[in-house]
């Protein structure tokens, strides 16, 4: 939602910058995974017995799905953009079928939370 707000505030044309925005989303999701892994390997986490069994693909899929879900709520801005099409295509890869099933409940709960938001 922040990304949408920033894009609108800055007057960035989504259609003209779809590839750039898709690359940003990919980098943000990869950064999220890296940040989680870094925190889980910190001295405090290790001394507390913390472990992190997250896989990069899971975090990237969830992040991509979250961006797709939120941005698709603004069809007047993103509906005809190749950004949503490329995110939907990425989510549809056969290798993601297992993730889609694995995180079905998490996604459902997340969608219920997003449905109540007005942005």
* Tens digits of residue pLDDT in 70-91: 898 888 888 778 999 999 999 9
Q: How far is CA 30 from the centre of its chain?
A: 10
- Name the pTM for this structure: 0.82
pLDDT digits (tens, 9 = 90+) for 4-56: 889 989 998 888 889 999 999 999 999 999 998 888 878 887 788 877 788 89
Q: Residues near 94 by Cβ (< 8 Å), separated by ≥ 6?
A: none
Cα(86)–Cα(44) distance, integer angstroms: 39
Are the CB atoms for 61 and 91 separated by under 8 Å?
yes
Query: In the numeric block, which tokens belong to residue 78?
Result: 């993103």
DSSP run (H or E) holding 82: helix 82-91
Q: Is the dihedral angle over the CA atoms 82, 86, 91, 94 positive or is it negative?
A: positive
Cα(83)–Cα(70) distance, integer angstroms: 12
Domain boundaries, the chain: 2-115
Cα(40)–Cα(9) distance, integer angstroms: 35
């Amino acid at each position: 939602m922040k990304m949408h707000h920033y894009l609108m505030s800055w007057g960035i044309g989504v259609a003209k910058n779809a590839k750039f925005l898709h690359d940003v989303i990919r980098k943000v999701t990869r950064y999220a995974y890296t940040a989680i892994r870094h925190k889980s390997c910190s001295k405090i986490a290790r001394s507390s017995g913390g472990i992190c069994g997250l896989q990069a693909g899971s975090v990237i899929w969830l992040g991509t799905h979250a961006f797709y879900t939120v941005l698709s709520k603004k069809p007047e801005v993103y509906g005809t953009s190749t950004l949503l099409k490329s995110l939907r295509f990425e989510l549809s890869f056969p290798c993601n079928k297992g993730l889609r099933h694995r995180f079905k409940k998490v996604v459902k709960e997340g969608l219920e939370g997003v449905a109540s938001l007005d942005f």
